[in-house]
Amino acid sequence: MKLLILAGLACLTVDIATAQVLGTTISNEGNWDLRKSDAGSDAGSCVLTPKTPSRVQVTRGRISVTGMPKNSVFNYQYRVDDGGASTPAFPSEAMQAEGRITIEGDAVRDIVKGRRFRFRILDRWHEAISEDIDLAGLSALYKRLEETCK
């Protein structure tokens, strides 16, 4: 039993920096960098990442929280600014297979315009993963992403 618990904890302590996408920084603003993929993807593949190590990546129309072990997420919630927490959501099979949570639609617009983004992910071992991210500079860089990375 102890071995299972230790294995689960080891999976949860994946270095957050490995969740960050690698690429060349082409612009930055506030607490965010706009990166263009170096290899292995489309020429227009860009991502916004916080300057501090984080699991969060922003692309056109999508916010992803990456770096979780595959098939390990029980549910997740997020909160923008001082608003209430979202209803707990269960990840799709595709999200589980990729070890990532994605937020799309109107929620992306609200987050990009916000000042603060917090999320909490509960894994199947009932351990919580959470981050509190300063969104300063994200809105301006998101506009730049839409113009630069088509």
Q: What is the mean pLDDT of the chain?
A: 85
Across the chain, which distance is largest between two alpha carbons, in Å?
52
Least confident of 36-45, 56-65, 71-80, 86-95: 36-45
The full 3-state SS of the chain, as one line of letters, equals CHHHHHHHHHHHCCCHHHHCCCCEEEEEECCEEEEECCCCCCCCCEEEEECCCCCEEEECCEEEECCCCCCCEEEEEEEECCCCCCCCECCCHHHHHHCCEEEECHHHHHHHHCCEEEEEEEECCCCEEEEEEECCCHHHHHHHHHHHCC
Region 119-134: what's the mean pLDDT?
Answer: 95
Closest CA to 101 of 140, 132, 71, 141: 71
Higher pLDDT, 150 or 30: 30
Pair 51, 28: CB distance under 8 Å: yes
pLDDT at position 11 is 45
What pLDDT shows up at residue 44? 54
> Residue 1 has what pLDDT?
43
Summarize the confidence of residues 52-76 as an average pLDDT.
95
What residues form DSSP beta bridges with 131? Answer: 119
If pLDDT is split at 50, 70 and 90, which confidence band does 23 have?
A: confident
pLDDT of residue 120 exceeding 70: yes
Q: What is the pLDDT of residue 39?
A: 55
CATH class of the domain defined by 2-148: mainly beta
Report the predicted TM-score, pTM, of the whole model to 2 decimal places.
0.81
* pLDDT higher than threshold 90 for residue 82: yes
**Residue 123 predicted with pLDDT over 70:** yes
